[in-house]
Structure 1
Amino acid sequence: MAVAIFCCSKNFYTIDQTKLAKFHVCGQHLLCPFCAGIRASKAIQKYTERVDEVLKKNRKLKPVLITLTVKNGTDLSERSTHLIKSLRTLIKRRQDYNKKGRGFNEFCKINGAMYSYENTYNEQTKEWHPHVHMFALLDDWIDQEQMSETWHEITGDSFIVDIRKVKKEKDLGYAKAAAEVCKYALKFGDLTVENTWEAFKVLKGKRLSGAFGSLYGVKIPENLADDMPDEKDLPYLEMLYKFVFGKQSYYDLQMTRHVEPHSKDNDDEAELRQREEGGRSDLAITENAHRIACDVKTGRVLRKKQHWQVPPTTRVRVKKRIRRWDGYLCVMHM
């Protein structure tokens, strides 16, 4: 199973936020839960922002969740293609009504919507269950019975249409409803490796999500890393994780690095200025005094070793660590 190999996160401990800064991933969202999760989170964020913008302009719009299904079947390729073509026909009829003013149906009451396809598998019946989740903003309430008749006319085998009102939550807004639509195309926890691979071969290259109307045009950024805090020069703890394969796979913390951009820049400038003036910097004196104080406690006198006094094995080991760290950064394009 494909996974994210390396992840680099930044813990901004002063504001209690942790951001995913860089990562090296496979990019196969149909196989990798990590890639699917990152992609879904970005889509939720962008679509939630668009929904808020549209509702501010027109508060009379009614947010709903719509689910459209087709009859189950053992052939995923045939069933998923049938569902995609049926929804395409439904959207085309809405577009024709808006342009030409004829061919009205209940689906035409949608002002704008975003949708995604999901495919689940029933182990008991050995059948695939393709369906569409849709978050829609309505100009007027949809008659569910008439909508079911229209859907059956198009599909020829399914009446099932579910329409539910969506309420805005106090803290999350419409993010929870958007998450229902932007979630994975496959439920990885419910599928065996064989079924996941079969679904990947069938669904790869197909467009499994989309939008129309007032919600059309939302662009998901290519860089799926988190946005950094607005406040610059915040200290943070940089953490590098590596994925460990096994029966119980996990991410292992490989390296940590404390970064203080603001204070570091000031210290470097002060040290450079004093060195140009011909003296030792306050920073160097302070660090030296700290080392001496530590040596007094331990009873040892610390003298800096010259390069020829360092064992060759130690020099090689240190160089390898530096190369390894640089390699991680190159892989992650840091």
Structure 2
Amino acid sequence: MNRQLQRVDGTRVLVTGGAGFLGSHLCEKLLHAGNEVVCLDNFYTGRKANIAHLMSDPMFTVMEHDITNPVYLQVDEVYNLACPASPVHYQYDPVHTMKTSVLGMINMLGLAKRVKGKILHASTSEVYGDPLVHPQPESYWGHVNPTGIRSCYDEGKRSAETLCFDYHRRHQLDVKVVRIFNTYGPRMHPEDGRVVSNFIVQALKGEPITLYGDGSQTRSFCYADDLVEGFMQLMATPPEFRGPMNLGNPNEFTIRELAEKVLEITGSSSKLIEEPLPADDPRQRRPDITLARETLGWEPRVQLDEGLTRTIAYFDQLLGTGNARVKTPDLTLSKAG
């Protein structure tokens, strides 16, 4: 059946960064829910392969555009995901990273204001910096280095949150702010430098798995499907609820434990090696998701072993290594979640 006949409410949704890892999952789920979706991306880190399976859908439109420049569209909702999100990518051009967070946010807020729509901004757990409070609740203001190599991303996202709330106070704009904790899944870039993709790629290729420091630092890993469902639930809340809201998996693992799980699932014989810890790398990171549970009834459903199995299968197919001891899935996520 033609998707146009399946539309429920005629909502036209803009997803900036829509060809990225998370953006492509969000575009897919929005389409499946009956929305018309405009995917906007400058393809700096986003990939056309992530959205290739959506291109034949008449309700899906792709625009190549950088949000540091204004764009004029008629939409009902904006999901602002545009920004390099891995240290390798956001540190490559830190000035442009900051411009994307600040100028891009101003442009997207201006668009939402013009069309009298609502906007969800994808912020990050990096606003908490190297936290002195654990786990991190939304009320914690953070411990952030404003001049370090990660500052372009950390402070850019903090500034974007400020802009969201100022637009709400000044213009009564319906804003939603979500703070994303470590997320993984199919369509991660194999060279993004994130710990999950690094470990999986190294294991599948039989290369040494690189631990920065002794691997005792902790992270909490949320599967992409769970996260984007949280996005959509947050967007559906009444205007009086704005966040910020933590979204992530509260189960905490050391980086060494993650590496060992990847080795176990892949069956790889890769060895663990240690390298110096990068500057300002957080020692621990775990979300307090009480607000999401109480407001949305949301919490993650896919736990780490299951999510890693799916993600490893994706990378095994992508890289053509044939080394994983897991079943290879369809590269789209429509059947993986």
| TM-score (normalised: structure 1) | 0.22
Higher relative contact order (CA 8 A, sep 6+): 1
> Could you say which structure has the higher strand fraction?
1
For the pair shown, the structure with the greater C-alpha radius of gyration is 1
- The TM-score, its normalising length taken from structure 2, stands at 0.22
Q: Which has the higher helix share?
A: 1
